[in-house]
Amino acid sequence: MGLKERVVLPLAKRWIAGVTMDSAIEDAKRANTRGIGAIVNFLGEEIKDPATADAHTEEYLRLQQSLFDAGVNGFASVKLTQLGLGADDEGMKVRLEKIASNAERLRQQLWIDMEGSAFTDVTIRTYLAAHEKHPDMGVALQAYTRRSEGDLKTILDAGGKVRLVKGAYRESRDFVFATRAEVSENFARLMGMLFERGSGFAIGTHDSSLVDRARSLAESKHAEFRFELLKGIRDDLKDDLVKSGYRVSEYLPYGDRWYAYSRRRISEHPSNIWLLLRSLV
């Protein structure tokens, strides 16, 4: 076992279920006992080799079956570049179709995560095409991008489902709003559109002021939606939302590519750097 596995993995388990599928199923069951649904992601992105993309597809098919067999209230969320987007686009569509059909067979939903701006356009096009056949699929939209309002209108016109998040990638200022205040303002604007016209959407944030805003919209609009939060962040808020009668799901990543994901979570929040440094001494 390398230094990374010995020192950082125990800390990373705050944000990931573990390395194996079994660890994800166990975490999903634990979430269910708290009244929280599970959204499980097998970690990986930018897979260039078709054989590896096929292996990721097989992993998702097994994951969906394992969630079903374990009686878990939960489903999978995939990244299109882990299915070969950007290297083997036609193969990616075939792989996505396999996972989407399997979800349908097992009566599970399926989400598509949104990645960096190089993939936004093609992710939305792929989603809209797949959604025609699989109406229960949804896609993440990032409030930090200037284009998201237009994308949201297109998706709502097509009757699609959206998980609204702020956005997690480093992007050029041409593409994204520059300040946190602008991102939050755009999040609130897009959330207003979702409560007005959407159904089966998800509000994916740990930001208390946006969650409060969603709660007050929910009281007046009566839309069908749920809150989605990441594993290891704001457990207090998850429990509070469940107690208040809202539907809540937790995003649970797992797999051996845990390092890049954990780095993203650590760098998002300064206090996590102290957690990391403390674990090193």
Ligand X SMILES: Cc1cc2nc3c(=O)[nH]c(=O)nc-3n(C[C@H](O)[C@H](O)[C@H](O)COP(=O)(O)OP(=O)(O)OC[C@H]3O[C@@H](n4cnc5c(N)ncnc54)[C@H](O)[C@@H]3O)c2cc1C
Which positions lie near ligand X, rule CB under 6 A? Answer: 113-114, 140, 142, 165-169, 204-207, 228-230, 233-234, 251, 265, 268-269, 272
Contact status, residue 128 vs residue 155, Cβ threshold 8 Å = yes
CB of 163 to ligand X, least distance (A): 6
CB-wise, 50 or 118, nearer to ligand X?
118
CB of 16 to ligand X, least distance (A): 12
Contact status, residue 68 vs residue 101, Cβ threshold 8 Å = no
CB-wise, 16 or 165, nearer to ligand X?
165
CB-wise, 51 or 274, nearer to ligand X?
274
Q: Which helix (H) or strand (E) holds 40?
A: strand 37-42
Q: Give the integer Cα–Cα distance in Å for 103 and 240.
A: 30
CB of 1 to ligand X, least distance (A): 25
CB of 133 to ligand X, least distance (A): 22
CB-wise, 103 or 230, nearer to ligand X?
230
CB-wise, 61 or 203, nearer to ligand X?
203
CB-wise, 69 or 279, nearer to ligand X?
279
CB of 118 to ligand X, least distance (A): 13
Contact status, residue 202 vs residue 225, Cβ threshold 8 Å = yes
Q: Give the integer Cα–Cα distance in Å for 122 and 128.
A: 10
Tell which residue, 175, 181, 214, has the closest CA to residue 198: 214
Q: 152-168 burial, b if ≥16 CB within 10 A, otherwise e?
A: beebbeeebbbbbbbbb
Strand partners, 165: 142
CB of 178 to ligand X, least distance (A): 15
Rg of the chain on CA atoms, in Å: 18
Token code pair at residue 143: 């409030």
Other beta carbons less than 10 A from residue 242's beta carbon: 15
